C-alpha cells in the first residue's frame, strides 16, 4: 500500500492553472524526487500536501484512507511535515525551543525544561546528531540548522517529509551527511519527497523521480531507468543542447585589477585581473573567502590593505555607492535577502540602483519608470505579467533576471555574479548563461563566483581557486578540469609562511 496518494490535484488562480489534475504517490521507506523548471508547479503541489494551499479539486489518501484538511496544523497531525528552502527557525531561541516551538512540555503551566531538553536529545539522537539542545540556533551552521528542522519534523511523528531544495547552501561534506540522514529515515519507514534543481543528486538518493512541467505531471520513472538528458528533456519539453553556451571570447584591455587585497583573519594578499569581455571564475570550497573578496571589491566590507584599478586608473572604494558610481555591479548570492525588495514591483526593483534614469527634475516620472522597466523586461525576456508585478510572486530564475536588469541599467563596466544559478532550474540556467555571454560580448568584465565545478568549467575563460582566504592557483579554460580544481581547493596552506614565500608558492601553481 502506498503511504501517500495525491489524485488529480487541481489548483487554479485567475487566468492561470497552477496544477492540472496532477497525481503523485509515495511509498514507505522511499525517497521520491520531484523535479521541474521554476514555475512548473512543484511547490504549489507540495503546499497543497502541507495544508498551506487549498486544492480546488482532487483527493489525498494516506495509507489508503481519504483525508481532508486545509491548514498546516491539520497536515502535521496527519504526519505530514515540510522543510522549506528558507528555514522556519527562531535564531535567538535554543535548539530545544525551536524543535518544540508551541508544543513545549509543561508542569503546572510552566515549561518543564528538563523534559524539553531530554525530548530534544531523543529527536536529535534519531539523526545521530551531536548538537547541544541548549545552544542558540544563531550559533549553528547551515547544515546544523537543517538537522534541527528535520528533528522538528520528527518530533511531531512525521511519516511524510517534504524537503525543498535542502542542498542549496550545503558543502559537499554537509551534503554527504544529509544523504546519510535521509537513508536512516528511509530505513525507519519514512517516505521522503525530495525537491532539487541539482539533477545529479537524484541518482544518488532517489528511487523514483516525477517530472512536472507547466502545472502538469509529465512522467514518473524509476531512477535506474532514466538518465540526466532524459530528465532535462521532460522538464523543458525539448532537447536542451549546449547546456553551457559556447562563445568566441574577444577579450579587450584589462578592466578590473585587484592587487594585494587583504582583510585581517578573512583573506590575504589576493591579486587578480579581469579583462573586458572576459568571464573569470572565482571558485573553491564554501568558506574559502570568495564572497568576502567580492564584497570588499564592491565596498560592502572594508579591506585593510590592497589596491583596486578600473581601466588602468586607481579607485578608492569604501562603500557600495562608490562602487556603483565607478561602474561595478554585484549580483549577490542571496538575491531574496540582498538583491531584491520582494514586496516591491519589477519596475521598482529594476530602477533601484539608478533612479536618475526615471527622474523628471527632482521627481520620479512613473511613465518613464514603466517605459524603462518594460524595455529591460523585453530585452531580457523576463517572464512577468507586467512591470507592476510584485517580485515575490516570480520564479527564482525570473527574479535573477530582474536583478541582472537592475545592474545592466547602471551600464556597469564590471559585474560580479555570486552563485548566479543557485536554486534555479536547468532551463533557466541556460538562459542566464546566454545573458552572461551577451553581456561579456558587449565589453563588460565578469567575475563569477560558483561552487558548481561543471558550471565553472563550462562558463569561465579562466579560473582562480581559493582556499582559506588565499589564492592557491589559476587555471586556463583549456587546462582546467575538476581534479586540478579540487587539488588547488584543498591545498594545504601554512599560515606562518611569509607573503613573499607564499607569492613564490602561488606562482609555481599558475597554469596557463
pLDDT digits (tens, 9 = 90+) for 466-500: 988 999 999 998 899 888 888 888 776 554 443 33
Give me the pLDDT at residue 25, please: 97
> Cα torsion at 86, 92, 95, 99 (round to 10°)?
-60
How many Å apart are CA 32 and CA 286, to the nearest integer? 28
Give me the pLDDT at residue 492, please: 62
Residue 462 Cα to chain centre, angstroms: 23
Give the pLDDT band of residue 169 (cuts 50, 70, 90): low
How many Å apart are CA 101 and CA 79, to the nearest integer? 17
The overall pTM is greater than 0.85: no
Residue whose grid cell is 551534503: 175
Give me the pLDDT at residue 153, please: 80
Please determine whether the domains at 4-236 and 242-327+413-512 fall in the same fold group of CATH. Answer: yes
pLDDT at 223 over 50: yes
How many Å apart are CA 175 and CA 129, to the nearest integer? 14
Q: Is CATH 3.55.50.30 what the domain over 4-236 is classified as, yes or no? A: no
Q: Is 168 in contact with 423 (CB distance < 8 Å)? A: yes
Give the pLDDT band of residue 240 (cuts 50, 70, 90): low
pLDDT tens digit sequence for 292-314: 999 999 999 999 999 999 999 99
Where in the chain are the domains?
Answer: 4-236, 242-327+413-512, 340-411
Give me the pLDDT at residue 332, please: 86
Fold of 242-327+413-512: Rossmann fold (3.40.50)
pLDDT at 284 over 80: yes
Please give the average per-residue pLDDT across 245-274, as a whole number: 92
User: What share of the chain has pLDDT > 90, as a percent?
Assistant: 44
Amino acid at each position: 500500500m502506498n503511504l501517500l496518494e495525491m489524485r488529480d490535484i487541481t489548483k487554479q488562480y485567475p487566468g492561470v492553472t497552477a496544477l492540472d489534475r496532477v497525481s503523485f504517490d509515495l511509498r514507505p521507506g522511499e525517497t521520491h524526487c520531484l523535479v521541474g523548471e521554476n514555475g512548473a508547479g512543484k511547490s504549489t503541489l507540495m503546499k497543497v500536501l502541507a495544508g498551506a494551499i487549498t486544492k480546488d479539486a482532487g483527493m489525498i489518501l494516506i495509507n489508503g484512507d481519504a483525508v481532508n484538511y486545509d491548514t498546516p496544523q491539520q497536515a502535521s497531525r496527519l504526519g505530514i511535515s515540510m522543510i522549506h528552502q528558507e528555514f522556519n527557525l527562531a535564531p535567538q531561541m535554543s535548539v530545544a525551543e525551536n524543535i518544540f516551538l508551541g508544543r513545549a512540555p509543561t508542569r503546572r503551566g510552566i515549561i518543564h525544561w528538563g523534559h524539553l531538553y531530554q525530548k530534544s536529545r531523543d529527536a536529535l539522537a534519531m539523526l545521530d546528531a551531536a548538537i547541544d539542545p541548549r545552544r542558540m540556533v544563531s550559533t549553528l551552521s547551515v547544515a546544523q540548522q537543517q538537522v534541527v528542522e528535520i528533528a522538528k519534523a520528527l518530533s511531531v511523528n512525521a511519516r511524510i517529509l517534504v524537503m525543498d531544495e535542502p542542498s542549496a547552501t550545503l558543502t559537499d561534506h554537509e551534503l554527504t551527511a544529509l544523504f546519510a540522514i535521509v537513508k536512516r529515515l528511509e530505513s525507519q519507514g519514512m517516505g521522503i519527497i525530495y525537491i532539487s534543481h541539482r539533477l545529479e543528486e537524484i541518482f544518488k538518493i532517489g528511487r523514483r523521480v516525477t517530472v512536472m512541467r507547466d502545472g502538469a505531471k509529465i512522467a514518473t520513472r524509476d531512477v535506474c531507468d532514466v538518465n540526466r538528458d532524459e530528465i532535462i528533456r521532460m522538464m523543458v519539453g525539448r532537447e536542451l543542447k549546449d547546456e553551457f553556451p559556447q562563445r568566441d571570447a574577444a577579450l579587450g584591455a584589462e578592466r578590473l585589477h585587484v592587487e594585494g587585497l587583504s582583510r585581517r583573519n578573512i583573506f590575504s594578499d589576493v591579486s587578480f585581473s579581469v579583462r573586458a569581455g572576459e568571464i573569470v571564475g572565482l571558485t573553491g570550497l564554501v568558506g574559502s573567502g570568495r564572497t568576502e573578496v567580492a564584497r570588499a571589491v564592491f565596498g560592502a566590507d572594508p579591506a585593510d590593505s590592497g589596491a583596486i584599478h578600473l581601466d588602468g586608473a586607481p579607485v578608492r572604494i569604501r562603500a557600495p555607492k562608490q562602487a556603483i558610481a565607478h561602474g561595478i555591479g554585484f549580483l549577490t548570492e542571496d538575491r531574496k535577502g540582498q538583491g531584491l525588495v520582494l514586496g516591491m514591483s519589477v519596475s521598482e526593483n529594476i530602477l533601484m540602483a539608478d533612479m536618475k534614469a526615471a527622474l523628471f527634475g527632482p521627481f520620479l516620472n512613473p511613465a518613464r519608470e514603466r517605459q524603462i522597466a518594460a524595455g529591460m523586461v523585453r530585452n531580457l525576456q523576463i517572464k512577468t505579467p507586467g512591470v507592476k508585478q510584485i517580485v515575490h510572486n516570480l520564479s527564482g530564475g525570473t527574479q535573477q533576471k530582474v536583478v541582472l536588469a537592475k545592474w545592466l541599467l547602471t551600464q556597469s563596466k564590471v559585474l560580479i555574479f555570486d552563485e548566479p544559478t543557485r536554486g534555479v532550474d536547468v532551463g533557466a540556467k541556460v538562459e542566464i548563461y546566454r545573458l552572461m555571454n551577451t553581456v561579456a560580448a558587449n565589453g563588460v568584465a565578469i567575475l563569477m563566483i560558483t561552487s558548481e565545478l561543471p558550471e565553472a568549467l563550462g562558463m569561465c575563460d579562466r579560473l582562480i581557486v581559493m582556499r582559506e582566504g588565499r589564492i592557491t592557483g589559476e587555471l586556463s579554460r583549456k587546462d582546467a578540469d575538476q581534479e586540478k580544481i579540487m587539488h588547488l581547493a584543498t591545498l594545504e596552506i601554512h599560515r606562518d609562511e611569509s607573503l613573499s614565500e607564499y607569492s613564490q608558492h602561488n606562482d609555481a601553481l599558475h597554469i596557463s
